[in-house]
Chain A
Amino acid sequence: GAVVSQHPSWVICKSGTSVKIECRSLDFQATTMFWYRQFPKQSLMLMATSNEGSKATYEQGVEKDKFLINHASLTLSTLTVTSAHPEDSSFYICSASGTSGIEQYFGPGTRLTVT
């Protein structure tokens, strides 16, 4: 149990375009979802936290207008990178927690490359 999927697993887009990444909890209801970014050889950095039906809470330094997060249902959250630039190229990982909020379950990640 507690499986989280992400789609796509990798994506290449041109500079200036937007790309959407989906995060789904497959076998539980995710009251809270988290989005992380990981640059090569670095650790995961939390970008934002979202609760179903509410606006996301962004970490300091993360542009909310550039990284649009939607958590419209208890099983789906999306991250849209708008007007992507090469410096947005990174590994994006989502996680989800259920009602207990004790443990987060991580998706397999999405590799974004902006050319």
Chain B
Amino acid sequence: KQEVTQIPAALSVPEGENLVLNCSFTDSAIYNLQWFRQDPGKGLTSLLLIQSSQREQTSGRLNASLDKSSGRSTLYIAASQPGDSATYLCAVFNDYKLSFGAGTTVTVRA
């Protein structure tokens, strides 16, 4: 059974600092890995999707890397802003389904 772990569970940084969020998974036979953002009481917003053959994906201030062999992914958010405050979820797709981590709750202080 796939297990996804996200560290840290919570993170508080001053505005402008770079954010580093970590995700690890136990079964490296994944099809893809996705990072989502979830605001309180809301659904999921897809941020980045990395195919298993890719090493990284970038979108604006966001960059996600994938090391499938070691079962790890990292999400970098450059120059954080208060609007980046949310919970960030990592999910891996294998065995025809997504398995989610518990998330990292980020607070960016103005």
Contact = CB atoms under 8 A, between A and B. Distances in A.
Interface residues of A, number: 21
Interface of A: 6, 34, 42-46, 49, 91, 93, 95, 101-109, 111
Interface of B is mostly: strand
Interface of A is mostly: strand
Nearest to A6: B43
Contact of B44 (A42, A49, A93, A101): A93
12 contacts: A34-B98, A43-B100, A44-B44, A44-B98, A45-B100, A49-B96, A91-B41, A101-B96, A102-B31, A102-B51, A104-B98, A106-B44
Nearest to B105: A41
Taking residues whose C-beta sits less than 8 angstroms from the other chain, chain B's interface range is: 20 to 34
Interface string B10-50: 00000000000000000000011010100001111010010
Given A49-B96, A49-B97, A103-B49, A43 B43 contact: no
A1 to B, nearest CB: 13
Interface string B71-109: 000000000000000000101000011111111000000
A45 B100 CA distance: 7
Contact of B42 (A42, A45, A95, A109): A109
A32 B51 CA distance: 20
Contact of A44 (B31, B42, B46, B89): B89
Interface centre among A46, A95, A106 (most CB of B within 10 A): A106
Contacts of A49: 96-97
Contacts of A106: 36, 43-44, 46
Nearest to B36: A106
